[in-house]
Structure 1
């Protein structure tokens, strides 16, 4: 995990997201709905603000 964090730290944010997207899609498709919602909610909460109220059913 530490190695992955080091690699991502050397990348621009958009580049890091582009690199992670295919793997995240694979992981998220193997989770149940509650786990997916929790994951997305945690990401939004960390970004700040009350954006959860504007989310539509994922």
Structure 2
């Protein structure tokens, strides 16, 4: 567990890009689900957050 935290705190591109991709995918799943209007309402904001994260993180060093 400590190794995982250390990898994220070093601001390397790989783990943060993976996290941003997961956030984008969660937003898409929230958009496509038919059960909750609340999840649907927040889906665009979540996808936007993931996209902004990806743009910022792509500037991090390898």
Specify if TM > 0.5: no
Under TM normalisation by the shorter chain, which class is it?
A: 0.3 to 0.5
- TM-score normalized with structure 2 length: 0.33
TM-score normalised over the length of structure 1:
0.34
Looking at both structures, which has the greater relative contact order when contacts are Cα pairs under 8 Å and sequence separation is at least 6?
2
